[in-house]
Amino acid sequence: MSSREMLPFNAAAAVPDAANLLTGLSALVQCQNSAELQQKLVGWLAELGNCALVQLYLLDASHSRLPLCCQWLDGQLGGEHGEDGLTAPLLAYSLSQNTPLQLDELDRSLHATPFLPASSAAWRSLLCQPILDRRQQVGGLLVLASRARGLGRALTLPLDMVGNIALAQLHAMQQAELALQAPDLPLPEPATASKLGSFGLIGESPAMQQVYRLISKVLHNPVTVLLGGETGTGKELVARAIHDYGSRRSQPFIAQNCSALPEQLLESELFGYRKGAFTGADQDREGLFDAANGGTLFLDEIGDMPLALQAKLLRVLQEGEVRPLGSNQSHRVDVRIVAATHQDLFSQVEQGGFREDLYYRLSHFPISLPPLRERGSDIRQLALQFTQETCTFLQRSHCRWSDTALAYLATQRFPGNVRELKGLIARALLLCDGNLLLPEHLDLPNTPTQAHRLTLREQLEAVERNLLNEALQQHNGNQTLTARMLGLPRRTLLYRMQRLGIALRSRSQAQCLPK
């Protein structure tokens, strides 16, 4: 890229004049394709900031990955593309908070910077600038790094403006390029759950892959989500993932348990009140709907909400309006509702304990979380993760698991699900005097007291039980398809399921998830 095409900013002043700015923007607009635009952008910004490294990261269609799309390093294009910036805490923070991040003195011992390429001289300063699309939602990051101390703070505003314009132009080019594709070319392969990532959640079982796929469908639209599943399956974690990886990530996330407060207090907590509305209301107070305006309100245990409050919640969902206690005026709020319950709301509707109109308004997009006993190998992965986290919390040396203890965990049903497993591991670590976790530390029902080792048959049955559960979950309980995948006659599959204590579910009992 020649200096005639793009004039650099005045490095001494660190603020561009109008002529230089217009020259650079004009060169971007005249690019013929998206690849050329990306390359000219990073090259120009390297001159703009007088820095050795410029990286352009763009969110993918699901907003679950932040791949490196283009890099300018020491005067030329280079570097590996496709690296996920969300794995770097500094980039993930700047993106999720929608705020520039500037480090004038970069300390590699304090800040993890795996996204910076290897260099003979240390990188000394860093600037991360979120860029917005035409809908004013975060679409990616610009990263500038220098081997000298300090990148001018005056760069933040020009970067913001240039990045936003370039991103809008880039999206327009990409849409035009797709429109010009021949009609007989195959369409891009739809993103699967495995490609979308886990949204910060733990688990790779087919049941969790289905959950990830459903989460990806609701990240960037305001549809109300209803999370179902047994207690302890991680409903609040999923609600946070929907918020943190969605378009409202930079706005508040407010959680409220509907069963934790009596009706009158819950109403004032949600809707707020005006001075004099009741005894003790000596000043105006905004409610959680106002506090979550622009963001997400998570209503846990929605099935325990009193009927009178359900009517007020229905109006918020339908009209987007909130009326505080003691006020005769309503005002509009923009809040995304994510509700959760471990109860069967449809049964409550039939029994008169839950409003039918609210039920259908909440259940536009249900996501059912699988119990831990149906997640197979996830139990091992969760156990290892919780062990590491708990050891850090307890400030003790890391503990490892014995094979027999891990195999024994896989045989348990865990009625309290992930919450029970986490508490169990915390207790086991307190009971463990050494650095090896054994079955005797788990204190589970029927834990062997004489022998600390499972027999070979018990270990093999635990492995087989996990495989069958995963296969059944993958085929939504269809025994014929499961037997075909495992290479077994259907009669043999039924025999093994009965012998291993796996429930024989009919097709009508198989859980239906939205496609």
Residues 43 and 169 in one domain: yes
Residues 31 and 173 in one domain: yes
Per-residue pLDDT band at 110 (split at 50, 70, 90): confident
Q: Which helix (H) or strand (E) holds 34?
A: helix 34-49
Rg, Å, the chain Cα set: 27
Residues 320 and 346 in one domain: yes
pTM reported for the whole predicted model: 0.59
The answer to the question of residue 74 being in a domain is yes
Distance of CA 403 to the CA centre of its chain: 32
Residue 463 has pLDDT above 50, yes or no: yes
pLDDT digits (tens, 9 = 90+) for 137-160: 788 888 988 888 777 566 666 777
pLDDT at 194: 39
Residues 390 and 434 in one domain: yes
As a whole number of angstroms, the distance between CA 336 and CA 84 comes to 28
Instruction: Say which residue, 52 or 507, is predicted with more confidence.
Output: 52
Range in 181-185, 224-228, 457-461 with the lowest mean pLDDT: 181-185
Spell out the alpha helix ranges (H) of 304-415. 307-319, 345-350, 356-362, 378-394, 403-410
Instruction: Say which residue, 228 or 440, is predicted with more confidence.
Output: 228
Residue 368: strand pairing partners = 228
The answer to the question of residue 252 being in a domain is yes
Residue 127: strand pairing partners = 102, 144
Mean pLDDT computed over every residue of the chain: 80
Per-residue pLDDT band at 179 (split at 50, 70, 90): low
pLDDT at 24: 67
Q: What is the CATH number of the domain that holds 396?
A: 1.10.8.60
In 3D, which of 126, 51, 49 has the Cα closest to residue 89? 126
The answer to the question of residue 3 being in a domain is no
Q: What is the CATH number of the domain that holds 63?
A: 3.30.450.40
- What range does the domain containing 442 cover? 373-509
Residues 76 and 174 in one domain: yes
Q: How many folded domains does the chain comprise?
A: 3
In 3D, which of 244, 330, 259, 255 has the Cα closest to residue 292? 255
Q: Which helix (H) or strand (E) holds 103?
A: strand 101-103
**Last residue in a domain, options 179, 210, 236:** 179
**Last residue in a domain, options 327, 354, 370:** 370
Q: Which helix (H) or strand (E) holds 128?
A: strand 125-132
pLDDT at 182: 42
Residues 349 and 423 in one domain: no
The answer to the question of residue 455 being in a domain is yes
As a whole number of angstroms, the distance between CA 400 and CA 422 comes to 15
pLDDT digits (tens, 9 = 90+) for 281-336: 888 889 999 999 999 999 999 999 999 899 999 989 998 999 999 888 999 999 99
pLDDT at 239: 94
**Last residue in a domain, options 370, 398, 432:** 370
Residues 168 and 207 in one domain: no
* HSE value, Cβ hemisphere, 13 Å, CA-based, for 93: 11
Per-residue pLDDT band at 258 (split at 50, 70, 90): very high
